[in-house]
Structure formats: C-alpha cells, structure tokens
Amino acid sequence: MSDVTNSDVTIYHNPRCSKSRETLELLRSRGVEPTVIEYLKTPPTAAELAALLAKLGKEPRAITRSKEAAEAGIAKDLDGDALIAALSANPGAIERPIVVKGDRARLGRPPESVLEIL
C-alpha cells in the first residue's frame, strides 16, 4: 500500500483510451487515488504543457500523436513553443496518459512506467 495522498499525484486522463484507463487502474491498485484531469475537457494551457514537458524531460514532438496531429492540421515541421501552442489548442493530439508527482512526470506507455515516480 502506498502512502501517496490524493494531492501528490495527478493524471492527465482520457477515459476513452485503454492505456489511460489501465494506468489509472494501476495507480488505484497501488493505493493511489490521483487527481484526475480529463484533459480533453480541460486542456492544459501552453504554459502548463511546457511545465509538463520539463517534468517529463521530453520535447513536444515526443508527446504528439501523429495521426491526431495531422487530422488537427498541425504541421509536421512545428516544434518548440509553436508545437506546444498547437497541442494546447488541440489536446486530442497529446499522447496520454501523463502522470505527475512533484517535479517528475511519466507517460503511461506502458502503464507500468508511471510506477518509477511513485
């Protein structure tokens, strides 16, 4: 059982995504009840997304779903702040789920990778 409190862990979640559901269930099975942000309903701002990327240690392209980005009209050559802004405006193109604890974050692909930050 974990001693992680609700406010310690946040998941950027899409309930229609199987990996996102699996990751949420994995957290709960470890005694963690995270703050759940359904990011399609409440998209992160560009600044919030930049902060998430810093915690992930990744560039924006690493969390971009290429098919969804193309469907949203996001140019393949965008990067940096321009890509962050495009992802914030088109949250369906953001890879999910993202789990945050403190100053660290992990992409839940595979779901078990989020356990590294607990």
Length of the chain equals 118
Domain boundaries defined on the chain: 6-108
The string of pLDDT tens digits covering residues 57-80 is 999 999 999 999 999 999 999 999
Indicate the pairing of strand 98-101 with strand 104-107.
antiparallel
The rounded mean pLDDT for the chain is 94
2, 4, 8, 17: the active-site residue: 17
Active site residue 11: no
9 DSSP β-pair partners: 101
Give residue 6's pLDDT band: very low, low, confident or very high (50, 70, 90): low
Q: CA 98, CA 48: separation in Å to the nearest integer?
A: 12
If one looks up domain 6-108 in CATH, what number appears? 3.40.30.10
